[in-house]
Chain A
Amino acid sequence: DAGVIQSPRHEVTEMGQEVTLRCKPISGHNSLFWYRQTMMRGLELLIYFNNNVPIDDSGMPEDRFSAKMPNASFSTLKIQPSEPRDSAVYFCASTYGRNTEAFFGQGTRLTVV
């Protein structure tokens, strides 16, 4: 398996623009997680899905952030409108079941100018 695939790897956008980050989990995995990593706050869990259903979105910072998982092989994290403070590395991770570890993608480095 190719692992968790995220796109794009890098994104530079202007403040106010819409940004969409994409994630393809490992085939067969039934849980998907979106994390944000910054120097100030470390790794924060934004939202996670179980069997394509959002379970906990309490980490989503504001209404500007939204996430979807239309099927088992694809998820998006959207920021609209984007702000400079959203600049961070966004990671997607997937797992199967309960007694397994999370597998992480390479991340998307987002820069909002």
Chain B
Amino acid sequence: AQSVTQPDIHITVSEGASLELRCNYSYGATPYLFWYVQSPGQGLQLLLKYFSGDTLVQGIKGFEAEFKRSQSSFNLRKPSVHWSDAAEYFCAVGSPGGATNKLIFGTGTLLAVQP
């Protein structure tokens, strides 16, 4: 069965510092991979997605993620964090062979940004 692990529950970074949020997945083949962001009291917004092709994916708000098949990882990165990036981030995996885009989510990483 597919699963997603986000090992960091909570991360604090200083504004302007670089950021990397970790995501590891378990799936028999190459899955569809997503990163979503959730601001307090809001729904989830898609940051970026990977289906195939270039393993370095660019998203909105200056985020990028790299798919590494050998490590079963899809880590999210941003070179310089802004205070407005404080939110909860979710990695998700979907099944390319499924009939629909059923997504399994990780437990999330809560990002705090220090001034």
Contacts and interface: CB of A to CB of B under 8 A. Distances in A.
A100 B101 contact: yes
Contacts of A95: 100-101
Contact of B107 (A4, A42, A106): A42
Interface string B91-105: 000001011111111
Contacts of A35: 105
Contact of A45 (B98, B103, B108): B103
Nearest to B104: A45
A73 B10 CA distance: 37
Interface residues of B, number: 23
A107 B43 CA distance: 6
Interface residues of A, number: 25
Contact of B101 (A4, A43, A98): A98
B100 to A, nearest CB: 4
A48 B106 contact: no
A107 B107 CA distance: 17
Interface string A28-70: 0001010100000011010010100001100000000000000
Given A43-B90, A99-B51, A56 B102 contact: yes
